[in-house]
Structure 1
């Protein structure tokens, strides 16, 4: 009985560890046999193969491994030698119905396909702009990365990709990017029999921001005001793809490609509007920036005048040292930067404030010009002025002095005066004449001096006074005085303790024994004590030596002490008491 045999092809497979998820190395993909939808069998060319035979198509039927007697060295296992179609043959076909060999003779051929070549993956960038620069791919905002794999034999099983060393993911749709930054994208493909492509790596820079555009100025400028000799340079920066172009428009003109700085000499005087923007190499645009500026081509104007007071005395006109030459400059827009002047041909000086003309006879020549803040310069102006047009110049203020009437003393370097001391202020001017004196005490307001005055507040005071002549030249003087308005402090001390007290309607009096001695004294902290006078019971006044008594006669007594300091300030003190014969 003849049996039908099924030849089974087996392969030696090694199943290693489970695939790793790291994006740094490829996953593990086993080599294998793949049956395509059209029934073709694809075998990884690198697999070791074995042949088995069975008389039944059932998967679990008994099967027998084939061994070759003639080619034992190259079988068990054997390998396919040719990429693509390989055959397993038997020399003579037998009709499956009659079981009789087929004539003419025909081989039986089993086709299998060896696949030892990995797939090839290509990449495209769609949806936006792409730029290759410095070994990196720059993509604009709407771009996606499209991976396409091709395998000429068993076909592509899958494509995997990893971003920035992350987990390998199966590619099933275009890769998009959100955050603007640099990405490291790695990818590879695997075919249906386990051939694995080498990893491809590409650096993607995702750039959806436009450049930064800015202005730089050269020449004479002040804020947003430009002279007719200035220029405006438009610059742009882009940290990713780089600058493709800069564009600008002036006033209502057409947009132009920027190549050279804008020269203000070609612009009319007045207000202007500059609009500008930049584009990078991915066609990302910056914001359109509007800059308004003014072109100032008009120089300033300078006006000269003489200022100061004059006074006519004895047919002669006097002008003070305060008669000044004043230069006033005006500018239509940018403002005045500086004014320069020259007197009688001397080198030009920068004008800071009104100045005194030189006290020289003959003619005086003053020339001047001004420069505005954007460098426009006026023509040199000025000329000669007759010396007689300038009055006699009185440069000096009056001489001042002060003196006192009434008590005053000097102790060391300190002047002491009293409340009855009169202060007199005087001044003298030999040219235009004396006008007035103003004075103030300490930090008080100035007042006009008319008559001598006194200081009534005790303590240290500063008197400052200013003298004015008829053309307001001034001089000033001050002095410090210590004002003493209080009399000395008087002390009365009895040489013995009271023996008792007498109380009456007039008050209480201490009672002292006969032969009591009284000691008197006075102190003054400022000018000092000049003298002390004593009176007992309205007797004649006499200078006290400091000791009164002893008092021998019993009775009622009233002691009056008067102390006078060196500035005439007086203090008086009275003491009433009783002298008793009882001890």
Structure 2
């Protein structure tokens, strides 16, 4: 193939990056030429033609003229697209110098080419997606620029790349830069006919979508609750998301379409696998979100701190404190709520107490975990005992009250009786004359004589403390003093015994400083004791008790009003 020189004039040396400006680069200019291929001669149709003849092959030619119409030659122009002929009427046989037989015309063909090539563009190797006026391609995109040229033949095809036109060949046809692209292209034929620039716009999308997990509702760390909804949000900056795929715990992969409610799933761990694919088949690397679905409510416990007694009810006092604790299997406890008859429902933050009137009170409570699983409300009842017991004292017997004073003896058993209608009495205590406080366990006695002031009080089973009460008594441990007198003087002494006549009379008496004498008893020579000065007896002073002459032994007992007793014995002789 023989070609004439092609002139490529670049009008401007500066260029701009195609992807940024999206404008056509400076286009090369091609000279219109004549081109010979084999026996064929091609001329750009707008070029002037000069014809000349010579009698030698390489001799100097003489331009041909058209005398009839000189303006039609030197130069002349070809009138027909494609083949044109320069003719001589009959061909001469070179040896015989006669017409060829049969006669034939001499034809000199010359091809006029005034039409530029027509180039098309085709894409291959990549997924395609069209949306409205936009065409998107994915990875592996290549383009083909086939050109149609009917006369002189195709010389070259050019396309825009990095701000300039470059010659097309298949090795340069890969497009691997993401973004919007306007591709310019044209072809030129062998005589310099240059096609008007063509262009096509498209977008190359090489980046896969990005999918994010959204949890609508409560989520604590990696724990979600049944009220939580799970959503996959995908975005793609170019061709757009075609589909999002997901699977739970490696089950069957499904196309994600709408939010997933956790309430429809069983409690436990879940591994959510997900990814998205865009409209040109860019696939996101699979992602994994691991969560635990917690559908179990926390368990709360009410603790009683301080005064407490379990009987018919659980009794507490106004000092008793209540504490709430809760445990949760996974997410952890968020809040504990409680209410009492005097406290509206609130969040538990510190120990609380029951207040108000005596009686049965209910405490309602429940716990909520960090993913809003709420425990069913619980209720526990307590009997608020805010009333102290009441204690009474009994000084027992013997006892004798006179002159605003209660007298007792060391034999008197003092007892305390505590009464409490609610939680019941727990213990009683006392002390005597500001002495040590003693816990009452059984009736007690006071040994030492004198005035005694007893302070006493009780506590009930929830430690309600009674205000101190007081009781007073005088302990009388001194017996009466006995006096024995005769109505006349003794008449003698015998064996160290006084001797009295047989008509003597005896008089008995007793005195007591505190309570006075209650009774005097006597016995003569071992007889049963009889009451002295009793209406049922005859006093010794009123009968002849000693009329017989003999030895007499008289025993006398005197008792005061609290049972203190003294004894006295007198022996003497009677003679008639």
TM-aligned CA distance change 1:318 to 1:345, over 3 Å:
closer
Partner of 2:281, secondary structure, is: coil
Indicate which of 56, 60, 63 corresponds to 1:62. Answer: 60
Equivalent residue, structure 1, for 2:34: 33
SS class of match (2:164): coil
Deviation at 1:269, TM superposition (A): 0.8
Shift of 1:260: 1.9
User: What corresponds to 1:43 in structure 2?
Assistant: 43
SS of the aligned residue for 1:145 comes to: strand
CA distance in 1, matches of 2:6, 2:258: 70
User: 1:352 aligned to 2:359?
Assistant: no
Aligned length: 374
Write the mapping of 1:393-432 to structure 2, written as runs, cut at 5 A: none
Q: TM-score, normalised by structure 1?
A: 0.58
1:72 matched to which residue of 2?
70
Whole-angstrom CA distance in 1 between matches of 2:40 and 2:367: 99
Alpha-carbon deviation of 1:299? 1.7
Distance across 2 between alignment mates of 1:179 and 1:126: 16
- Counterpart in 1 of 2:502? none
Distance 1:185 1:16, change over 3 A: closer
Q: Secondary structure at the match of 1:173?
A: helix
* RMSD, matched Cα: 3.3
For structure 1, which segment, 127-136 or 295-304, has the greater mean C-alpha deviation from structure 2 after superposition? 127-136
Q: Is the 1:21–1:27 Cα contact (8 Å) retained in structure 2?
A: no
Give the corresponding residue for 2:80.
Answer: 82
3-state DSSP class of the match of 2:352? Answer: coil
Question: Would the aligned equivalents of 1:21 and 1:167 in 2 still touch at CA under 8 Å?
Answer: no
In structure 2, the partner of 1:486 is none
1: CA distance between counterparts of 2:10 and 2:247? Answer: 65
Task: Give the 5 Å matches for 1:251-262.
Answer: 251-262=249-260
Give yes or no for the alignment of 1:233 onto 2:234.
no
Aligned to 2:374: 377
| Cα shift at 1:280 | 1.6
Partner residue of 1:207?
A: 205
Work out whether 1:140 is the aligned partner of 2:138: yes
Q: Distance in 2 between matches of 1:181 and 1:374?
A: 44
Asked whether the 8 Å contact 2:182–2:201 carries over to 1, the reply is yes
Say whether residues 1:111 and 2:112 are aligned partners. Answer: no
Q: Deviations over 1:26-84 (max 9, x none)?
A: 111001111124x22121112122222222232xx110111212333433322222222
Secondary structure of the residue that 2:304 maps to in structure 1? Answer: strand
What is the aligned counterpart of 1:125 among 123, 126, 131? 123
1:184 and 1:93 mapped to 2: Cα distance?
Answer: 58
Contact 2:326–2:336, Cα closer than 8 Å, also in 1: yes
**Contact 1:136/1:202, CA 8 A, preserved across alignment:** no
Q: Secondary structure at the match of 2:120?
A: strand
CA pair 147-14 structure 1, distance change in 2 beyond 3 A: closer
What is residue 452 of structure 1 aligned with on the other side? none
Cα distance change, pair 391–242 in 1 and its aligned pair in 2 (3 A): farther
Shift of 1:179: 4.5
In structure 1, C-alpha distance between the alignment counterparts of 2:131 and 2:187, rounded to whole Å: 26
Q: TM-score, normalised by structure 2?
A: 0.59
Q: Structure 1: which 5+ runs fail to align? A: 1-10, 312-316, 393-470, 472-583
Cα drift, residue 331 of structure 1: 1.7
Superposed displacement of residue 364, structure 1: 1.6
Residues 358 and 383, structure 2, Cα contact 8 Å, conserved in 1: no
- 1:19 Cα shift? 6.2
Residues in 2 aligned to 1:22 and 1:74: alpha-carbon distance in whole angstroms: 45
Greater CA radius of gyration, 1 or 2? Answer: 2
Matches within 5 A, 1:90-105: 90-102=88-100, 105=103
Distance of 1:21 and 1:54 partners within structure 2? 46
Match for residue 333 of structure 1?
330
Within-5 A mapping of 1:448-467 = none
Q: Secondary structure at the match of 2:251?
A: coil
For 1:16 and 1:267, the matched residues in 2 are separated by: 73
Comparing 121-130 with 42-51, which one deviates more in the overlay? 121-130
Q: In structure 2, which of residues 364, 367, 373 is the aligned counterpart of residue 367 of structure 1?
A: 364
Aligned residue number for residue 514 of structure 2: none
Q: Hey, what's the Cα distance between the residues in 1 that align with 2:234 and 2:360?
A: 61
Equivalent residues of 1:163, 1:184 under 8 A apart: no
Q: CA deviation at 1:205?
A: 4.0
Distance 2:221 2:316 in 1: 47
Contact 1:165 1:184 in 2 (8 A): no
Residue by residue over 1:224-243, the C-alpha shift from the partner in whole angstroms, topping out at 9 and shown as x without a partner, is 22222322111222212321
SS in 1 for 2:325: strand
Q: Is the 8 A contact 2:316 2:382 kept in 1?
A: no
Matched, 1:246 2:251: no
Q: For 1:348, what is the secondary structure of its paired residue?
A: strand
**Alpha-carbon offset, residue 191 of structure 1:** 0.5
After superposition, the Cα gap between the structure-2 partners of 1:310 and 1:320, relative to the gap in structure 1 and judged at 3 Å, is farther
1:343 corresponds in structure 2 to 340
The 10-residue stretch of structure 1 (130-139 or 83-92) with the greater mean CA deviation from structure 2: 130-139
- Paired with 1:57 and 1:391, the residues of 2 have a C-alpha distance of 148
1:490-548 residue CA offsets vs partner (Å, 9 max, x unmatched): xxxxxxxxxxxxxxxxxxxxxxxxxxxxxxxxxxxxxxxxxxxxxxxxxxxxxxxxxxx
